[in-house]
Each structure stands twice: as C-alpha cells, then as structure tokens.
Homo-oligomer: A and B are copies of this chain.
Amino acid sequence: MPQFGGIEAGGTRFRCARGTCPEDAQITEFPTTSPGTTMARVFDFFRGGGSLDAVGIASFGPVDPDPHSPTFGYITSTPKPGWRNFDFAGAVRGALNVPVAFDTDVNAAALAESRWGAARGLHSFLYVTVGTGLGGAAFIDGRLLHGRLHPEMGHIRIPHDLARDPFPGNCPYHGDCLEGLAAGPAIEARWGCAAHLLPDGHAAWDLEAEYLALGFAAFTCMLSPERIVAGGGVMQRPHLFSKIHARVCELLNGYLQPPEIVAAELGRRAGVLGAILMAAQFAR
C-alpha cells in the first residue's frame, strides 16, 4: 500500500499529513516560524513514520510552480522573513529523498475539493478562498490552470462606488482591488470590527456580497466554470451565498448562465489533503 506525505505551508501555520485520503490521513500542525525551525519539525514528522512514495507541497505564494524553470519549487518574492527565494521542493527532496510535487496552497485545496469535497465529478470549477487574503484556483477542462505563473484572481479591479463605500481599499499593491475591498482585513478596517464579530444583519454583508458578486461574475466571464466553491474565514456565513448568487445573476443578466456558488466542504484540511493528492498523482 503506497504512502504519501503532504505539506501545507501557510503564512501562519504549517500542516503535515501522511496517508492516502481523508479517512486515513494523520495530520499535525504547528506555527510557521523561520525556515530552519519549521522545516526541522516537518522532517521530524515524516521521519517518525514509515517510508513515503512521494511528498506534495502546497505553499503560500508567490511560488514558482513551473517544472521547466530553474527556480521550480521556490517560494519567490514573499515579504515573509527568511522565506524569500527558499528552495522548498529542493529542501524536502534533499532531506527525505523522495519525489516531490509542488503547487500553490489554493491549487492543492481545489484538487482536494474536486476529489473529496464540493466539486466532486466536475470538469470545470473555481475554488475561491476569502480570509486574510482573497485567492482562487481554476480547475478547468479537467485540470488545474497555471499559465506563466498561477492565477492571482484576488487582484483584479472591480467597480468601486466611492459614494457608497469611501473606504480606499487596503491592498499594499493595488489599493481597491477585489482583495483590497473584500478580504477579511478590509472588512475589519472599513467597519472597525473583525469580520467574524459583525452580526448577519450588518450592512457590511450587503457590501461584501456586492464585491464578491462583481468578482465572481468576472471570473465566470473569463473562465466559464460550472460551479464556484468558496471557503475561508469570511465565507463562514451561509446567508452570504444566496446574496452573492442573486447579484451574480443580475450582473450576468441572462447573457451567461450563472455558476452554482457553494461552500467548500473540506475546511482547514483542504490544502494538506490536496498536497497528499498531488503526491499520489506525481508518483503514479
């Protein structure tokens, strides 16, 4: 029976898993500190079990996921201390002596949702996470889209009505891009209250639905998904989904069929389970 390892590297937490699927995966997690300390804990975890056939890495970005590039498997231009230009795939390959698959955390989560979660059986869907950032993965025509790098859907500009919402946006690169208007920190900065503390009836959620609908409608025009699977801290509000869907329908206005918009099913385990799946696909 093959055994696979998965590493989800988040900006604040690392998760490691060994196994083959949600039922048998053993998962551990610990805080992200320096690369030296953090990777030592990763290697300890994997060395404490039996041998592995392959390891998948699902990393925070930006990363270089192009297997033909000399910096394949690196975290590239992150401002996170110590991690800039870190040869992640090389470090794991060197320490554990196994084949290593490498992609972004959102791509891995999308893969897990397609196998075990809210996108089972679909040929084309998007996975969008709205939390401390706003990121997305495109699984289209049966596979993950990469392009030159990987999608950065959170950074599109959307219409911003300054009369309705004078908040200038808080993306350090773009100000009022989608992430700068709609991710968790934008909600907190605009209303002076953490998103998870705002009651369901608060006006914040109508505005949030407006921005996410503008984003999801643009994603639909560009990528033609059957479904949008949405997760992350900000999306833990069931009433948001129907608000967004109604507004996406209005925005598309019959020109295109709106995608279904549903909640992600695998929660915090999506990334690390996706990393296991990447390892299994790579070893096959």
Binding site for B on A (CB under 8 A): 124, 138, 140-141, 143, 145-160, 173-174, 214, 217-219, 221-226, 251-257, 259
Most-contacted residue by chain B among A157, A174, A252 (CB, 10 A): A157
Residues of B close to A158: CB separation below 8 A: 157-159
Query: With A and B bound together, what is the CA distance between A146 and B138 in angstroms?
Result: 12
Q: Are B155 and A223 in contact (CB under 8 A)?
A: no
A124–B160 Cα gap in the complex (Å)? Answer: 30
Docked Cα-Cα span, A205 to B218, in Å, equals 24
| Interface SS of A by simple majority | loop
CB-based contact A148/B173 at 8 Å: no
Q: Report the Cα distance A140→B221, complex, angstroms.
A: 16
Tell me the bound Cα distance from A257 to B64 in angstroms.
13
Which residues from B are CB-within-8-Å of A225? 147-148
The quantity of this chain's copies bound in the complex is: 2
Pairwise interchain contact A147-B218, C-beta atoms closer than 8 A: no
Residue from A153, A155, A221 whose CB has the most chain B CB atoms within 10 Å: A221
Are the CB atoms of B147 and A221 closer together than 8 Å? no
B140 touches A145 (CB 8 A): yes
Complex alpha-carbon distance, A153 and B222, angstroms? 5
User: Which of A140, A153, A174, A257: most chain B Cβ within 10 A?
Assistant: A140
- A145, closest chain B residue (CB): B140
Q: Can you add 14 more A-B contacts, CB < 8 Å, to A155-B256, A174-B253?
A: A140-B147, A145-B145, A145-B223, A146-B224, A152-B221, A152-B224, A152-B256, A154-B221, A155-B221, A156-B218, A156-B222, A157-B217, A158-B158, A218-B222
